[in-house]
Amino acid sequence: MQDIYFHTAITCALYKGTEKIDVLDRRDFNEDLISNIDRAMIFLKQYIPLRYEMTGEPRRKEIPEIPYEALREAIINATAHRDYFEKGTNIMVEMFDDRIEITNFGGLVKGLKPEDFGKKSVLRNPNIANLLHRAGYIEKMGTGINKMKNLISEAGLPPIKFEFDNFFTVTFKRPIRKEISFFAENDKLLKTIDDTINDTINEPINEVVKKRLLKEILYIAKYGRKTGKYILSDKGKKILDSITLS
């Protein structure tokens, strides 16, 4: 496919905060279209928080902050409808503290009016649409937009924002997450744990992972190991066992 179309890559990025300033992680996927979609989803799943519900079944139910299927539909839509003859841009999957944006070059397909968006479907890339259909990724019935909307509505999240000019951008609002007050109130303990992380883990650790470990340990330091709110990872257990908490 790369020999036929220019720039089939998907670029995924995780930012610190709400602006494009500090990049915490970035991956560029430029294999076949199907692999690009799958790898972009793997990237998002690394960083999307989960909550758990006990359903009476042996395994607890994992509920992502934003439904995976809605994000997947947006990435598939970007893959199916981007303008592949524009050489200077990739599909972008960008994660901020307050939102996830998925952007492709090429606004609404020629002939599709803004008022018909989500109601009618025009294929910009019929060959790619056929490929995705045969692979079971799309239905070729123009259902993707409404499917995304329904999934987000059922999850009780703010409506998706769609923007189209030269680019087409889908924005998913992330829920506001309250930090544990104890996390902000114990600067001395925070520094002790931060220093211990650097001394205890003999491997690179990015700021996202470090923040999660800090939150785990601080919560357990205050409420005990058996609260059930956080289940310490092996790294977290190693750090907690290496420090004295007062």
- C-alpha triplet 33, 166, 146: angle, nearest 5°: 60
Q: Answer for the pair 66, 155: CB distance below 8 angstroms, yes or no.
A: yes
What pLDDT, on a 0 to 100 scale, did the predictor assign at position 12? 97
CA distance 119 to 144: 10
pLDDT score, position 136: 87
Cβ pair 43, 12 in contact under 8 A: yes
pLDDT for the residue numbered 41: 96
Domain ranges for the chain, please list them: 10-173, 181-240
The pLDDT of residue 29 is 94
Report the distance separating Cα 158 and Cα 51, nearest Å.
Answer: 18
Q: Which helix (H) or strand (E) holds 163?
A: strand 161-164
Q: What is the mean pLDDT of each run of 10 residues along the chain (246 residues)?
A: 63 94 92 94 92 73 91 94 83 95 86 72 81 84 85 95 92 75 50 57 59 63 47 57 50
From 3.30.70.270, 3.40.630.30, 3.30.70.100, 3.30.565.60, which CATH number describes the 10-173 domain?
Answer: 3.30.565.60
User: pLDDT tens for residues 69-93?
Assistant: 999 999 999 998 888 877 778 999 9
pLDDT value of residue 165:
87
**What's the predicted TM-score (pTM) here?**
0.69
The answer to whether 121 and 108 are in contact (CB under 8 A) is no
Closest CA to 68 of 29, 40, 89: 40
